[in-house]
Amino acid sequence: MIAEVGADRVLFAVDYPYERTNQAVEWFDHCAINEEDREKIARLNAVRLFKLDM
């Protein structure tokens, strides 16, 4: 996904109740992406998209 659209256009999400949040977070914390992209996907892209206060 990142290779196709870039890390600026990806959000982290969990398909609750069909997936366990703790398992998804564990996977995301250890997947092979750089820390800058991880922060974008985990938080910063949602802040920008939904115009949230930081």
Where in the sequence numbering do the catalytic residues fall? 15
Cis upstream peptide for 17 (omega within 30°): yes
* DSSP 8-state symbol, 8: G
- Residue found by looking up tokens 């206060």 in the block: 53
SS3 6: coil
